[in-house]
Amino acid sequence: QVQLQESGPGLVKPSQTLSLTCTVSGRSISTDDNYWTWIRRRPGKGLEWIGYIYFRGNTYYNPSLESRLTISVDTSKNQFSLNLNSVTSADTAVYFCVSQDSRGYFFDYWGQGTLVSVSS
């Protein structure tokens, strides 16, 4: 059974960097079958795809966030991470780490999600 678990601070100050890590278990992150993805849900809004990384380091970001975003991977720890800089209150959201099928681009396993609030 594939499991993903987000970890990181639940509170970030405006203008600072939001950093989250996702630990994957039950599947090697070094697989051609999946991309490793971040999705968020802001209060009162729908789900927003943030971007993904392939285990070799290739990334694809949502253009709406690309200028502030870095997604990285650590295959030795079976983890991938999200860094979003210059955050504002508009970045307050539940952040999910997700496995994305590399052929069908659907999301087959999700973490529980972690709430990150941006506030001084």
Among 31, 48, 68, 85, binds other proteins (CB under 8 A): 48
Per CB under 8 A, 8 contacts other proteins: no
Least distance (Å) between residue 55 CB and other proteins: 19
> For every residue of the chain, which 3-state class applies, written as one string?
CCEEEEECCCEECCCCCEEEEEEEECCCCCCCCEEEEEEEECCCCCEEEEEEECCCCCEEECCCCHHHEEEEEECCCCEEEEEECCCCHHHCEEEEEEEEECCCCCEEEECCCEEEEECC
Per CB under 8 A, 111 contacts other proteins: yes
* Residues 54-73 contacting other proteins, CB under 8 A: 60, 62-64
**Nearer of residues 16 and 31 to other proteins, judged by Cβ:** 31
The contact set with other proteins (CB under 8 A) reads: 46-49, 60, 62-64, 96, 101, 104-113
